[in-house]
Amino acid sequence: MRNFLMAVCFCVVAGSTNAVAEPIMLSEDWGKTACEAWSADPVLTKGLFESGWVTNQKNNKGYRIIEMYRSDCPSSPHLQLKLEPKDGKAICVGSGKMFDKEWDFLMYAKTEHWVSMGKGEVGPMGGMMTGKLKFEGSMWEAMQNMGPFKNFLLLFGKVPSDTKTCN
């Protein structure tokens, strides 16, 4: 009986912890964590600087914008990542709903496909060829940067998220 009571007490105490909820996928909170993960990934930061991708900017505005959303969440706002060249790297300097109306790349997919790409089950080429990943922007640039593009998609597996809720 004593062991049973101790087990019940442990379960009640363990169950009452204030667990922090995961941010909704592609919400602004998710974007902040994704931005940090981007800036910590050498394939993204060094690869996209060394290839010249981050400095190939429209109108010399000093940054690039990747915009994305979940196509199965109709009211979901679009999230943008703002990327700048800094100290020989392509650094994510911010995330939010709208930095610039002129994005460089727009990507959207159903939540299940973002999850699958985040697990590495579907790569960028496979995602685009099968229609699981919709992509607008320079296909030529994307093709030249397949390694970093793959690492970008893997962020969807690295950044914790609530995928059951739409924004």
> pLDDT, tens digit, for every residue of 43-98?
999 999 999 999 998 778 899 999 999 999 988 889 999 999 999 999 999 999 88
| Residue numbers of the domain that contains 121 | 23-158
Q: Would 13 be classed as within a structural domain?
A: no
Segment (H or E) for 66: strand 64-70
Q: Is the dihedral of CA 132, 103, 79, 91 positive or negative?
A: positive
Q: Would 8 be classed as within a structural domain?
A: no
Residue range 104-163, pLDDT digits in tens: 999 999 999 999 999 999 999 999 999 999 999 999 999 999 999 999 999 999 999 999
How many residues in the chain?
167
DSSP label at 24?
B
* 3-state SS class at 93: strand
In the chain, how many domains are there? 1
Q: Are 33 and 40 in contact (CB under 8 A)?
A: no
